C-alpha cells in the first residue's frame, strides 16, 4: 500500500475526521500548514475566488500550476491536492502528462470531476502511480445553468448513478472520493459502505471529512454557497476562524460501519 493511501486510511482507522481546505497562495498555505490542516486543495474554484469569473470553465493548467507553486512553498505537514482543470484530461496521454506536471511540483494527489467516460483515464493514471481523488455529485466543470447548482442523488436514478460511480472509483483504486452537494442520506450510505475515505462539501456530516473553500470560511467570497459558514464573524482573527472550522470538523463523530 502506498504511503499516501495508508495515511488516508489511517484517518478512518483512527476515527479521525479529515479537514480539507482550499488554498491558492503562500500566506494562507503557511496558516493552514501551521494549523495542521490535513489536506490543502488548490481547487479550480480559483476561477471564481481569484480570477473573479462566474465559473471554473476558464481555469487552465498554467493557472493551477502557478497556484500550486505558491502553496507548495509552505508545504510541510499537509497533503497537497490539486484539481485537474477542464480540458486537461480528455485522453489518457494528456491526463498523464498534465498530472505528472502536478506531481513534479509536490502535489500528492490530483482531483478529477469523474464522469463514466473517464474510467480508462483514471485507470491509466493509477497504472502510472498517480494518486487520484474522484469528485462526484455537483461538478462545477459541467455546470451550465443555474439549475445545475443543486443537491445530487435525491431520486433513485441519480442515486444509482452516483453509487455505481463510487463502486467504479473504488474498483479502479482511487485513494479518495469527494462528494459535493450529495444528498445527506446517500453520502452517509456511501461512507458506511466504502473502504475509500469519503470527504464531503455540502453533503452532510456523515463523511470521513469535510472540505471548504477558504474564502467562504472567512466570509469574503462573493457568492458563498448556502451551507458555508463565516467563521471569521465569530472570531475576528483569521487563524482562529480557520481553527474553529478545524475543531468543528474534528469533533464530528462519524464511524464507518
For the CB of residue 43, give the shortest distance to ligand KIV in the complex, in Å: 2
Closer residue to ligand KIV, CB minimum distance, 83 or 183: 83
Total residues binding ligand KIV (CB under 6 A): 11
Minimum distance between the CB of residue 118 and ligand KIV, rounded to whole angstroms?
A: 16
In the complex, minimum distance from the CB of residue 44 to ligand KIV, in angstroms, rounded to a whole number: 5
**Which ranges of 156-208 does DSSP label H, i.e. alpha helix?**
156-172, 184-193
User: Does 170 participate in catalysis according to the annotation?
Assistant: no
Minimum Å distance from CB 57 to ligand KIV?
Answer: 12
| Strand segments (E) across 114-241 | 132-137, 176-180, 198-201, 209-212
Q: In this complex, which beta carbon is closest to ligand KIV, that of residue 172 or of residue 176?
A: 176
Residue from 201, 217, 242, 254 touching ligand KIV (CB under 6 A): that is: 201
- Residues in a beta bridge with 133: 111, 176
Q: Does 44 bind ligand KIV (CB under 6 A)?
A: yes
247 CB-near residues (< 8 Å, 6+ apart): none
**Taking the CB of residue 156, how many other CB atoms lie within 10 A of it?**
8
Q: Give, in order, the Cα–Cα distances in Å from 200 to each of 44, 70, 151, 169, 248.
A: 16, 25, 12, 16, 14
The three three-digit cell numbers of residue 154, written as one number? 435525491
Q: Is 63 in the site for ligand KIV (CB under 6 A)?
A: no
Active-site amino acid positions? 180
Binding interface with ligand KIV (CB under 6 A): 22, 41, 43-45, 83, 178, 180, 201, 211, 213
Amino acid at each position: 500500500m502506498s504511503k499516501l493511501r495508508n495515511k488516508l486510511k489511517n484517518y478512518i482507522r483512527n476515527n479521525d475526521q479529515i479537514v480539507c481546505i482550499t488554498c491558492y497562495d503562500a500566506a494562507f498555505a503557511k496558516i493552514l500548514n501551521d494549523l495542521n490542516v490535513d489536506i490543502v486543495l488548490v481547487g479550480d474554484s480559483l476561477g471564481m475566488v481569484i480570477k473573479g469569473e462566474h465559473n471554473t470553465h476558464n481555469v487552465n493548467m498554467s493557472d493551477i500550476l502557478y497556484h500550486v507553486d505558491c502553496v507548495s512553498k509552505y508545504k510541510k505537514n499537509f497533503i497537497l491536492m490539486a484539481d485537474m482543470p477542464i480540458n486537461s484530461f480528455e485522453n489518457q496521454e494528456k491526463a498523464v502528462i498534465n498530472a505528472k506536471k502536478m506531481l513534479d511540483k509536490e502535489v500528492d494527489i490530483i482531483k478529477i470531476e469523474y464522469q463514466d467516460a473517464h474510467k480508462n483515464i483514471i485507470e491509466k493514471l493509477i497504472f502510472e502511480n498517480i494518486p487520484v481523488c474522484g469528485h462526484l455529485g455537483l461538478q462545477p466543470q459541467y455546470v451550465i445553468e443555474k439549475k445545475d447548482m443543486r443537491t445530487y442523488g435525491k431520486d433513485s436514478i441519480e442515486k444509482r448513478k452516483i453509487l455505481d460511480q463510487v463502486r467504479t472509483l473504488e474498483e479502479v483504486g482511487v485513494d479518495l472520493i469527494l462528494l459535493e452537494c450529495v444528498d445527506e442520506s446517500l453520502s452517509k450510505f456511501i461512507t458506511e459502505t466504502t473502504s475509500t475515505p469519503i470527504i464531503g462539501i455540502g453533503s452532510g456530516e456523515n463523511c470521513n471529512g469535510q472540505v471548504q473553500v477558504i474564502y467562504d470560511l472567512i466570509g469574503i467570497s462573493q457568492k458563498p454557497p448556502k451551507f458555508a459558514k463565516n467563521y471569521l464573524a465569530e472570531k475576528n482573527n483569521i487563524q482562529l476562524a480557520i481553527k474553529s472550522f478545524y475543531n468543528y470538523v474534528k469533533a464530528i463523530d462519524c464511524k464507518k460501519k
